Structure 1
Amino acid sequence: MRCPWCQQLQIRDLTLKEILWPLTIKETRCQVCESKLCKIEAPYCMLCLKKGVASPCDDCRMWQTEYPSYDFQHHCFFQYNEAFHDWIYRYKFLGDYRLRGTFTDEIRSFFHQHPKAIVCTVPLSSERQKIRGFNQSAAILSAAKIHTVDLLQKTQHTDAQAQKNRQERLAMTQPFEATSLAKEIKGREVIVFDDVYTTGRTLFYAAEVLEHFKPLKIRTLSLAR
């Protein structure tokens, strides 16, 4: 088996389940790659999991002021550190599509706890999709075999968020609109997935559009914060 991050061959003992049902054998990160990741540990903001701050953090207080009726709750798995930056650069900007399965275990474990949720990803503009060749968030969920519904579409092409500073990100205008499938979410739990949470601007705009269709609740998810 290969590590889904560094692609190096690794040897490990199979579980009884994997021996009896070979199709259940899964690729897991090697110890070297695992050691690079930094999980979110207390103290952290209980609303967005920002590490090392009181709850709610300054960002969340700002969002509570702007969206007082939105019952916001974000979940992520890792702190955005140098190793994660290198991973996202290889995957997202160099187009190493093999990396889409790096965090499959975490993704499946999370959605196992939300079996009835409608899941959507943050869409790309058609221009960005052509440049990149794939939607990085949709590919991550596809690798984990998580069904998604295209509830949103991006109505304008914008510069990549990675090229913007904090103020430029927050100043971004609403880039999304709902698709015809959004009517399905009334009374349902909705989970919106994006690869990274930085300021929250993108995910709050996504939730703003979807709230008009009266879902039971909206939750957001990212790999890193």
Structure 2
Amino acid sequence: MKRPLKTTMLFFTTLILIFAFNVSTSHANVQEDEYLLEQEKQEKIFQEIIESVPNGTYSGNDITTNALDPSSYNPQAGDILYTPSTQCNDDNRETCKGITGHVGIVNPSTGTVTHIQAPGYLPKSISLNSWFTKYPKTVVVRHKNSTKASNAAKWAYDYYIWGDGAEKTYKVTIDQDLTKTLSLNTTYCSLIVWQAYYYGAGQKLSLNIPVMPVLFVNYAPYHDMYVLMKIGY
């Protein structure tokens, strides 16, 4: 009699595990669908916002010589660079899922940008010339407080280029408490910018989980920031 009992218990245990897995998978699919809908909504808002944003240029020459021309981008530490120029710009939802768009933060030297490109990459500091070559369409978001912006830029550069975050790999994580993500061995582009302002400038940016790159543009007024210009449009 013991054998059939064990077999029955094993059968029901298997059923429970299958049910739990299906519920978990279903919940994950619902989360993904909700996120994609929210992303589409935010991208529509973004399109409306940039219609009134002034056009700017980046010549790729000595950045200090561009200050006299109001339309030329004269970078400042802490500037957030948002671009839709990624592998997801064809808006094909069957092949392009997850976070679309990309962001980086201008370093204190104003000559480089801290960012992490995609899965398989580590955090990196690239020149502005490289950024605009790779991402021809870019929207510049600037903080009204230059001290906070500079502190955020310094934190991102110190931590992700020379510090403990230099070896972190790319992976989008979902955690309601973004402060906990600093202890992970992974990061993603918009998380770097969020952490830079939180740990470097003491400012908690109220953005969705995970952080959508486009929200730095859409929510700029709520964070004492403004959209300076759009380049390459």
Q: Taking structure 2 as the reference length, what is the TM-score of the superposition?
A: 0.24
More helix by share: 2
Given the two structures, how large is their TM-score scaled by the length of structure 1? 0.25
Asked which structure has the greater RCO (Cα within 8 Å, sep 6+), the reply is: 2
